[in-house]
Homo-oligomer: A and B are copies of this chain.
């Protein structure tokens, strides 16, 4: 294989999410050796993760082993490992186990975690939803809460177990609350004849004056109406000031609950500090117009962890399409070994935003088109299933959904707890 002068030969990618995986794929014909590093062994279709948390889908429906996805691509090696530090001087990625992985070009796409606004201790009681492990933990809590409530004779005691609070009115929070209402009222309640519908409460807390900030006012209002119809109690101007084992504090009120799910905010991982590039307030990297960092023409940061403005100076949203377009842009720069001074800046092409609310209801905003209801939901379903990686998963998920739609019997309601009784302890009793 002939090498062009100045072309990076060894490309290291940190993260197997939408950004990292798309970058690896886009470099499949380039004369480079790729090492893809991820802490897990799988790519995860995060937009459907809330369906795992609410027991509508299994982890295997929305995750695929990275090695299997990349099986046919000869120039990539998958490494299941944790990247701890990036050493710009030595041009290596240092792993948690001490090994150094050298690179000529580096694509950093580690994603983010939820922000607890300076209160990391809240996480114990209010898990976020970013990984398969998160989703399984939340699912187990929901299922165990019903089991707990079922054995309590005093309805007053059962109340905190049957109160489910979702914090954050962005797309994740809205989708979670909608799915939880469906699963609680229509999926689980029929299995617990000792519980009454009135005992169940699904609350969505949003600190600002409206939900779905990224959507138009009209669509957000439609979303709000859909949530209300599903039985979700949406509370606006409700900034959370405390989270304990007992419940959530909003101003001077305490909502007693054993089930809090955290959806707002994003913080970027500590790994990025070692890049020694300017960081935003939550640890995101301020990237240059070509997604590099100052002085490093072949070190890129893409996806949720990058702070990148659009033409109007607005920061780009943390969405899969942004990460994927960035990945393809960066792959082209590497494959062409394009010198920094000749690079056109990255431009995001917005193809629309969608959110689903419960079953067969959604809102969508695609250029000038704004639509809500069943049509938007069908659109949402097609787009999401289409983007699922791996033909098999598409068929599976389609079948799962059809079945769920017809029967209202969610498929993934097995409590996995390892030790007997462990599930009860874990859910905070």
Contacts and interface: CB of A to CB of B under 8 A. Distances in A.
Interface of A: 39-42, 58-60, 63, 65, 67-68, 71, 77, 79-82, 96, 99, 132-133, 136-137, 143, 147, 150-151, 190-192, 194, 392, 396, 399, 403, 407, 409, 411-421
Contact of A40 (B407, B412, B415): B415
Contact of A414 (B42, B82, B396, B411): B42
A133 B81 contact: no
B409 A392 contact: yes
A263 B81 CA distance: 32
Given A60-B411, A191-B68, A416 B133 contact: yes
Contact of A79 (B67, B80, B151): B151
A68 B80 CA distance: 38
A65 B55 CA distance: 12
A59 B412 CA distance: 9
B190 A414 contact: no
A147 B191 CA distance: 41
A67 B192 contact: yes
Contacts of A412: 60
Nearest to A417: B133
A413 B65 contact: yes
A421 B96 contact: yes
A51 to B, nearest CB: 13
Given A58-B60, A60-B58, A413 B190 contact: no
A92 to B, nearest CB: 16
19 contacts: A39-B420, A42-B414, A42-B415, A60-B413, A67-B191, A71-B190, A71-B191, A80-B150, A80-B151, A81-B151, A82-B421, A96-B421, A99-B151, A132-B414, A133-B416, A133-B418, A133-B419, A137-B418, A392-B403
